[in-house]
Amino acid sequence: MFNELESYSETEQKQKIKETYGLMEEMDEKEFDHVFSIGLYNKIDDMIEEKKLSMGNAIFLLKHIGYCKILMNKWSYGFYHSELKFRLEKMIIEKEKKEKNNVVLLTGLCECILLLYDEFSSELLPICVPYLLKAALNKEENEEAQKEAELSFLALSNICASRIMKKELYSNEITEIIEYHQEHYNLTRLAYQSAWLFLICRLFYDRSLEDVILNKLQFERETIRELEELSKCIDWKREKDVRGKEKKEEIALLRWLQALEFYLTWCKSWSEEFVELVGSIVKIYLAAKGNHKEIGEKCIDLFVNSTYIRAIENVRKIK
């Protein structure tokens, strides 16, 4: 299908890309790596260069590839080594200088680069983060707005914790978004989790965020509630792998556990709800240990890694 795209009109191309969405989401990791190789990304780059694929359709395609990649928790080696990566980086920098008013294009380009790759040029960070937060600030509750917010937050959550980021770049906006959702529930579960993962990752360099995370935004309370709700959506007795909505709920739960691991490692103070939070994790482990190996192992890793880090910190204090 990808090889035949250039023979279709722009409208037909978009329809053909839509038709691949379900197929992408059904792929396992080996299939994904085989299809989305450096060759495919270079083919897309050539089609853009030769004007056989519009930039709009390229973004439309790449955003969904990135979406599937994030949900699989994959590293995109093909994109990393492709000419397409360099094209997108260059376009973002040039368009931001010359066409700042082209918000839709710039937002789409930023989503693509962050969904597909987390070791991008440091020059892109102060450009991309504001565009994606602005897209996520859309408080409309229709399906299209929620999907766009989900993509924006998935992209933001893919920024690795070791990236230094000025608080002024994101703090007010992410706090407003989380607070608004807590009152109106306008985000999807995956978008809300990704917003938290993005914020928790910033703790790595900025411990001053602890008070906002712990007290103002009530991270422990929100995590307990989300874990309980997600637990109700999962068939803990299932005998085979699942797809679709239930798989998405499992992924969201795994990502909450990932955020918790960062939180327990980097946050020095806990609230009165900490014991209840630990109890929630134990319940998930007990439910998962039979048929959900990945979730069960994540619960164990969470406790082992955070306990190890805390022990090291205590030893350093004694010394």
In order, the DSSP letters of 150-192 are: HHHHHHHHTS-TTS---GGGTHHHHHHHHHHHHHH--S-HHHH
pLDDT (average), residues 188-208: 93
- Report pLDDT for 140: 78
For residues 289 and 299, give the distance between their C-alpha atoms in angstroms, rounded to a whole number. Answer: 10
Residue 131 has pLDDT above 90, yes or no: yes
Number of H helices, E strands in the chain: 16, 0
The Cα–Cα gap between 253 and 211 comes to: 24
Burial of 194 (0-12, 13-18, 19+ CB in 10 A): buried
Q: Is a pLDDT exceeding 70 seen at residue 319?
A: no
Measuring CA to CA, which residue among 200, 240, 245, 244 is closest to residue 222? 200
CA torsion sign for 101, 158, 33, 15 is: negative
pLDDT for the residue 239? 67
In whole angstroms, what is the distance from residue 173 CA to residue 179 CA?
10
Question: What confidence tier does 21 reach under pLDDT thresholds 50, 70, 90?
Answer: confident
Give the whole-angstrom CA distance, residue 200 versus residue 51: 41
pTM: 0.90
Measured CA to CA, the distance from residue 126 to residue 135 in angstroms comes to 15
Q: What is the pLDDT of residue 109?
A: 95
d(CA 16, CA 131): 28
* 277-316 pLDDT, tens digit each: 889 999 999 999 878 888 999 999 888 877 766 666 665 5
CA distance 265 to 302: 9
Q: Region 122-149: what's the mean pLDDT?
A: 88
Q: Which amino acid is at 293?
A: K
Using a 10 angstrom Cβ sphere, with 0-12 exposed, 13-18 middle and 19 or more buried, the burial of residue 213 is: buried
- Residue 272 binned pLDDT confidence (cut-offs 50, 70, 90): confident
Domain ranges within the chain, ordered by starting residue: 1-84, 121-217, 219-319
Mean pLDDT of 48-68: 93
Structure tokens at 12: 């037909």
pLDDT classification of 243: cutoffs 50, 70, 90 = low
Tokens 């949900």 found at? 71
